[in-house]
A and B are shown apart, each in its own frame.
Chain A
Amino acid sequence: MKIPDLTELALRNLRESLLRNSLTTVGISVGVASLVAMLSLGIGLQQLASRRLVKSGLFDTVVVTSRRDLRNFGREEQRNGPAPGESRILDEASRREIEQLPNVLEANPDIRFITELRYDDKPHLTMIAALSPSAKSNDAFDGIPGGFFSSDTAPEVIVQKTFAEELLGKTPQAGADETKAADLAPSLLSKELTMRYAQRDTTPANGILSAEDRQNNLSGATYSVVSRELKLKIVGISDLDPETMRGPTRARVFLPIKLAESLHVMQPTDLREVSRSATDQPVYSSLSVRVKNPTRVQPVEDAIKKLGFTTFSILDATRSLRQFFAVLDLFLGIFGSLALAVASIGIVNTLVMAILERRREIGIMKAIGASDGDVKKLFFAEAGAMGILGGVVGVALGWAIGQVINLGTNIYLKRQDMPPEHFWAVPWWLVAGAIGFAFVVSLLSGLYPAGRAARLDPVQALRYE
């Protein structure tokens, strides 16, 4: 029998015992729904964790330094490759080269310097770092009191909570509740800070160079350091510390990156690279390279290493996280499948009952020319149809359960003053996979009944009333 005929007959037969077949299909639906619910919870949690990690900016970032950077000297990996003196320097050209690599979103110079900030005529010494516009989506700056920089060159700063406390003269008390950034905001936002910094000025300074030097064209090797002041407006206060991983070099005040670049603040490398850096082209101590996806970090790191630089990323943490979620998904999948296993027994039961009920009909079909294979296929088609139908309804049910739990959890989170989250994810492959799985399980359940129906003796079956 051809597939359209099989399908037509199977659906017709299913309609004949509508209540029983509907109940069996509901059983499959519940099984599929539990499978989908379990797996989508696992996938949702995994996506939530990944989103958080990506937003933290730690897992999609590769820090690139030159091998000339003597701070890296002690590291094991530095013993391979060219000697520090022969290594490439991190200048604008190499930054562009890195930015051209596949999967690289951006490569920004890591501008950070220690300087003095004055607030209310009191000096505060701290580390200042530059932020690229993409940091706006970083967890540390997402939804902070105030906001992000109005532009890439605006004379604005975002301060970290601990520095904000320092500015206001508050010291955290041991045992007391932590102050929230939002509580500090009213007294600090839109206030002005004065930053004092050392600017590297490459304008040839007559009088410093001797006539002989000028003859030898050594003018570029000379620059002056000028003390400057800049007024900056506080636009945001960050609750989280985005730079916890950086240890002692972490910054507590952040500037827009273009502004920071235009300031030509004296960098520690400027002294080491005096012979090369005394031009307008800056040399960077390190670059922060953002990768499209945490999974692409390794290939990007490899590519950058090939260019002759040193890289660093927190990759292993994501790897073990993926392993954890694979195991979690497996367990959730097994528990979810239990209900489907019970449902498959329901299919066997329904089809065996159908054989008893339709024994005479099977006898008639065989008498008028149906082969064993035709009868077998017909029962398979019925099992398969119940499986697909149950799968589709089950996926919808699982999705609905997910939505309800998501809604309930978010109401709870809202009451706890926490931002809403999406714990539930039903990707298309889970939809297709669940329906396919229900179909296969149903076919397997149909194996025994279909075989039994096919083996029926037509003469005996025709005698059955």
Chain B
Amino acid sequence: MSPDRLQQDLDYVAAAVRRHDTSLGVPAIYFLWAVLVPVGFALPDHAPTVAGPYWLVAGIGGGLLSWWLAVRDARRAGINDTADGRRHGLHWLVGGIGFLVCWLPVLRGAPIEMAVGNFLLVAGLVYALAGVHLERPLLWSGLVMLAAYVVLTMFALPYTWTITGLAIGVSLAWAGMSAVRAARHAA
């Protein structure tokens, strides 16, 4: 085998592997959370008592629906990557545990504002780290949440939750549209 032939073969293999590495996520999952998040984030401002039950149902239901959409997308794409699926599952499971732990201070008598503040901090970290390790578009949603946490903690401005939810919804919808465009371009 000549060095030139070896180089050409390795270039071919590297190009094939790179084509598989350009996953921008599942558009339907972004659009799902682009709807669920603004509604859920508006609740602490407008109907605080409904926020907990909403996130219990929408969080678990949305998580299960996201899992189903991801499996459907993988089967349609023809790539059944169990290691990647485990990585995603473990990330969001740890995030889910973090969200549940946020409510512990309330059980010990702390005001509900403390729990919702913690919720925003955990959500920001979970989304930003998902952007770093799993799907890059989620990084921007995570950073918006972390910025909102700082604003909420330092300034206590009115309707911070509603505005944050809308900003996250827009960033997720934008991520979804980018993923759709990338998929069309690849096809």
- Does A pair with B? no
Spell out A's residues near B (CB within 8 Å): none
